[in-house]
Structure 1
Amino acid sequence: QSNKIEKAVSAAHTFLQKNPKHEMTLRYLNYYRTMVDVDEYLVDLEAPPYEPIFVRSVKLYNNGDFRSSAADMEQALAGYYKAYEDCLAGCEGAYEVEEFKDFYPAIAGDQAGGWGLAGLMLGVWGSVGCSNWYLLPDHFVSVLQCKVDCETELTPNVGGFFVEKFVATMYHYLQFAYYKLNDMRNAVRGVSSYMLFDPGDAVMQQNLVYYRFHRERWRLQEEDFEPRPEAVRYHNRTAAQKKMLDFARQYLQADDEMEVDGDEGAEAWDLPSDGEFEGEGDYEEGFFAEWLQEPKAKGDRADQGS
């Protein structure tokens, strides 16, 4: 019986990581507290491998062990990117047909977006083996939505709170840890990588000004101020996916349609006469798809001791 309660505690805790405000599960967990000491069983059974490494890195950072913190954060960052690639791959595959749509949305990619988006659609079509063109828009949107959701799905819940801007947060910790280790090149690249995701951050803007002011002292070159390549790839990919999803939802999905009974439809349509098709038409017309302080940490104890 005790073993089952322990498993129930772990299961409830795991569910609450993604649903922290679920009242029924919270009540269950409070009930279990009256039966056993639940703290040792509060284990997230579905925690990705990078999550405990990230938490450990933050603790080391707050304790002033910046070398170990930077090493762990690099490991957590690499683990996240691997999990992200796995998540994207999981979005590809067979598509379950739930309803049949009109043919017109299927050709909307070519009509509205030119071959750029049509080529993307062909890539999705070819990779998943879809042989029915009329299924393509829904399949395309479904895959894109899944890929956009990967970022949210992989965001860890630490202490009951989701880590906002998780990737940017890891680069923030790295830049300050490297600064403390006097590794200015990696510190600067951490700042530049962070600002890909939050260019308006005042603290990071100030840090970048500080590094540029002292660039000769630390022998920094202009290329040292470039973001890290993996950060650029991730930022560009996530931004492009969100734009494509917005475009697809606007142009590739069918509008709601009304069904008509009997001959009502024929009367409602103002059908063109044969005369409108006489003479030269316009269908042959072409078109062209033509101030200076040391770098700051934001709200961390390391800032207070620096």
Structure 2
Amino acid sequence: MFQTTWVCVIAAIAVVPTHVKSEVINPNESCAVLYEKGVEAYLDNNYNNCVKYFEAAVEKYRIYIKTLQNCRIQCKENVSEDRPLYTDNLEDLHFFEKTLKNTLCILKCRKEHGNVFGLYNINKETEKLFEDRKPYEYLHICYFQTKDYPKAASSAFTYLVAHPDDKPILASLKHYTSFPEADPSDVINYEAKEFVYLYVHGSDAYDKENWERVVQNMEESLVLYLQAEEECRAQCEGPYDPGWYPDFIPSIANHFTYCLKCKRKCRNKLSSLNGEKHEDLLPSHYHYLQYAYYKLGKLKSACQAVASYLLFYPDDHDMKRNVQYYKSLPEVSEKYFTPRAVSLGNYNLDP
């Protein structure tokens, strides 16, 4: 029923008028302004402009968020390496010193990237629109009206990843993929994190027993997953309105609690592989790696991956049995079972 109804709605929308002028995007407009212009173009049946404005809005939002995350992450790392001015930690002086240094660093970073922050500062409402993938709710129809069926299908899918119960858009996706140009196997999630497809390729290589490819993809996916989680946590460190006027210490405590609750949601937020939830996504990297390294004869790496996996699930029966098997091998030393240290590498402030 939903598919028939939604297809009829799509068919009833007017085709793109040939006389409508395609506007030039103003590079100085914020993602919020571009979003509103995209909505206006959609309501005016100007689907070419709808595509232009929403594409530009999504790109500017990505630049804003990436730059903001990188500023916070790099400043936090820089401050952690500084020695305190005073050796005595009187009344938590070291904490407040680091906080002030971090603040100055972030202000400097914002100034250095004034072309981003000066033009694109956004509020929580606007941020929620983009995090909820609302542009794609319009984009899939605008792409369809401009006969770009592959992008229409991928836009609908991108929205469905965040809203899996939206039956009308699910019906639209099925309709779009009925066109020869939109092969279902080519549909992608435009907002998927970098690690997602590496993980998928790694698990596919595991099924095909291509152990070198398993290691290659899973190692890269692991680093990018941890980086994505770090970025997610950094994004949580934004403004907070408590709705009242607390004293100094309650103000710090309330804001800290707000950020902490947000950061605790990052694991769940990143546990989706294009809409399919995997609660053990991070530790499962080590599961794939330990077996692939074993098949490649790299026993030390296999044992380290096992030890890393057991940090998450210390009572996992199968993995504990693997430990006993590895220990029975003459080439394996007890000291091999040390959890791995993963380096995230250096962050580039340029998105």
Q: What CA deviation, in whole Å up to 9, does each residue of 1:49-90 have, x standing for no partner?
A: 111111111122211210121122111111111112222221
Alignment of 1:91-130 (within 5 A): 91-95=236-240, 97=241, 99-100=243-244
* Distance in 1 separating the partners of 2:271 and 2:151: 24
Question: Among 53, 66, 74, which residue is 2:219 paired with?
Answer: 74
Among 229, 232, 252, the alignment partner of 2:341 is: 229
Distance 1:137 1:23, change over 3 A: farther
1:31 & 1:137 partners in 2: Cα distance?
Answer: 51
Whether 1:142 aligns to 2:268 is: no
TM-score, with length taken from structure 2: 0.52
Q: 1:169 aligns with which of 284, 289, 301?
A: 284
Shift of 1:156: 3.3
Corresponding residue of 1:187: 302
Aligned to 1:151: 267
Largest Rg, 1 or 2: 1
Give the Å deviation of 1:192: 1.1
Conserved in 2, the CA contact under 8 Å of 1:155 and 1:163?
yes
Q: 1:205 to 1:22 in 2, by over 3 A?
A: farther
- In the superposition, the TM-score normalised over structure 1's length comes to 0.59
Could you list the per-position Cα deviations for residues 91-116 of structure 1 after superposition, in whole angstroms to 9, with x for gaps in the alignment?
11322x15116x5xx6xxxxxxxxxx
Please tell me the residue identity of whatever aligns with 1:156. S
Q: CA deviation at 1:163?
A: 2.3
SS at match of 1:230: coil
Match of residue 297 from structure 1? none
Residue in 1 that maps onto 2:208? 63
Q: Residue type of the partner of 2:333?
A: Q
Cα distance in 2 between the residues matched to 1:195 and 1:18: 31
Counterpart in the other structure of 2:87: none
Q: Distance in 2 between matches of 1:200 and 1:173?
A: 18
**Match for 2:194 among 23, 26, 49?**
49
Q: Which runs of 4+ in 1 moved over 6 A?
A: none
Q: 1:18 to 1:223 in 2, by over 3 A?
A: farther
How many angstroms does 1:34 deviate by?
4.4
CA contact (8 A) 1:84 1:150 kept: yes
What's the % identity of the aligned pairs?
31
Larger RCO: Structure 1 or Structure 2 (Cα < 8 Å, ≥ 6 residues apart)? Answer: 1
Matches within 5 A, 1:269-284: none
Matches of 2:269 and 2:156 in 1, distance apart? 18
Q: Which runs of 5+ in 1 are unaligned?
A: 107-131, 234-306
Match of 2:157 among 6, 10, 13: 13
Tell me, yes or no, if the aligned pair for 1:13 and 1:44 is still in contact at 8 Å: yes
Give the stretch that moved more between structures: 148-157 or 24-33.
Answer: 24-33
Contact 1:9 1:41 in 2 (8 A): no
The AA in structure 2 aligned to 1:87 is C
Computed over aligned residues only, the root mean square deviation of the Cα atoms, in angstroms, reads 2.4
User: How much does 1:184 deviate?
Assistant: 0.7
| 1:198-226 alpha-carbon deviations (Å, 9 max, x no partner) | 12221111111111222xx11x3322112
What CA distance in whole angstroms lies between the structure 2 residues aligned with 1:19 and 1:183?
A: 42
Equivalent-residue separation in structure 2 for 1:199 and 1:21 (angstroms):
35
What is the match of residue 301 of structure 1? none
| Aligned equivalent of 1:125 | none
Aligned length: 199
SS of residue paired to 2:191 = coil
